[in-house]
């Protein structure tokens, strides 16, 4: 069974602070995705990382994929209250049609 562990589970910070969320896998997935979910909504894709060592930036969000393609991180610079939500990493299976979710990180950014 492929498992994804996310840390921390919960993070409460002040506006303007930086933070990093980690996602570690027990095995290699074909790719790894990060989703963000707001209350009352379904998760929405932020990014997909495929290549070991890959770095992707989405405004103040920086996503890294480890060289061995078993770990990933999400770094948010100068967090804003609008970043508040549940962040989920998910591994895509080899068939490319199914996800395994990590435990999630609940982020609260206080003004």
Interacting residue ranges for another protein, rule: CB under 8 A: 6, 33, 35, 39-45, 48, 86, 88, 90, 97-99, 101-104, 106
**Minimum CB separation from another protein for residue 42, in Å?**
3
Exposure pattern of 5-33 as b/e (b: 16+ CB <10 Å)? ebeeeebebeeeeebebbbbbeeebebbb
**Minimum CB separation from another protein for residue 106, in Å?**
5
**Minimum CB separation from another protein for residue 38, in Å?**
10
């Amino acid at each position: 069974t492929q498992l994804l562990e996310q840390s921390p589970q919960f993070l409460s910070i002040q506006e303007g602070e930086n933070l990093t969320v980690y996602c570690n896998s027990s095995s290699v997935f074909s790719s790894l995705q990060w989703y963000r979910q707001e209350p009352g909504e379904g998760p929405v894709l932020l990014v997909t990382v495929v290549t070991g060592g890959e770095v992707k930036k989405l405004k103040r969000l920086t996503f890294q994929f480890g060289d061995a393609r078993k770990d990933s991180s999400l770094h948010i610079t100068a967090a804003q209250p609008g970043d508040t939500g549940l962040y989920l990493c998910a591994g895509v299976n080899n068939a490319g049609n199914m996800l395994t979710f990590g435990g999630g990180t609940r982020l609260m950014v206080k003004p």
